[in-house]
Amino acid sequence: MAGICEGRVVIVTGAGNGLGRAYALGLAAEGAKVVVNDLGVGTHGESGETMGAAEKVVAEIKAAGGEAVANTADVADWDATKGMVEQAIAAFGRLDAVVNNAGFVRDRMFVSCTPEEWDAVTRVHLRGHFCTSRHAVDYWRAQQKAGNPIDARIINTSSGAGLQGSVGQSAYSAAKAGIAALTLVQAAELARYGITANALAPNARTRMTMTAFADTMTSQQDAAFDPYAPENTAPLVAWLVSEQSKSVTGQVFEPFGSTIRISEGWTDGPTSADLGRRLEPGEVGEIVEALVAGRTPAKPVYGTA
């Protein structure tokens, strides 16, 4: 029986390990042809730490009877990501989806974070999402203008750190929050071209989460069902890549184990009464206190509770 992604061509970035590897293998098992991208760096962006990771995943896919090619582009390199999109088209004749997953961390308290660390983290996550997706969109728009129907997907990777913040991860949290907002804009702007955009905020064991939450991430590793296994997120990714998801866009999903939660994001909360005049500074405190007391409590920042 054909899988739900039969014939779909997908780029998965950061697919040499962890979640990206699970996505690539899961997509291939569902019939997708996969461009497996991985630069081969470590959890902090150290060059050369996992060289050959993309090729190993490609070998696994081919051994299982699937189709895949390896790519080692830097996802934040404008020209290299253009080449990655061109590689997908040259290898498989088309491109249907981009799964933006690549990233690394430079965990540091805000008071200790350097400009270099800040730039490195925001570059790989936020610029990396921009470069790869932008070249894919250029291709899809050109196809649509040529009269070819488009049913394309952008799947971004945010994080709980981006949705609620995480102590010691100011740069990472800021970048991941930016990705969530980017997803909303992409969904609004690109629907006219037949492109959907959604994001994931996975709760899974990866090289990055193990640097900050090792005890939690390994707590159930030997259980009959390991809720932190990265493979648990792969079915949602496969469905989002498939044609079945064409009516869903602009959403942020928080998968964990066998559960899927959808984030409601920023929305209007309590509002003070309109007095029909400018407020006096001395009046503001009482109003704000009432608004804070009346709002739905926010989820705590990771590391504070």
The catalytic site residues sit at 159, 172, 176
**Residue 71 region by backbone torsions, left for phi larger than 0, else alpha for psi between -120 and 50, else beta:** beta
- Under 8 Å between Cβ of 187 and 250: yes
- Under 8 Å between Cβ of 209 and 187: no
Buried b (16+ CB within 10 A) or exposed e, 68-89: bbbbbbbbbbeebbbebbebbe
The radius of gyration of the chain from alpha carbons, rounded to an integer in Å, stands at 21
**What is d(CA 47, CA 66) in angstroms, rounded to the nearest whole number?**
29
Q: Is 142 exposed, middle or buried (0-12, 13-18, 19+ CB in 10 A)?
A: exposed
Cα–Cα distances (Å) from 263 to 185, 205, 253, in that order, read 16, 20, 6
Q: Which residues contact 59 (CB under 8 A, 6 or more apart)?
A: none
Give the containing element (helix H, strand E) for 214.
helix 214-218
- Tokens read off for 31: 């019939």
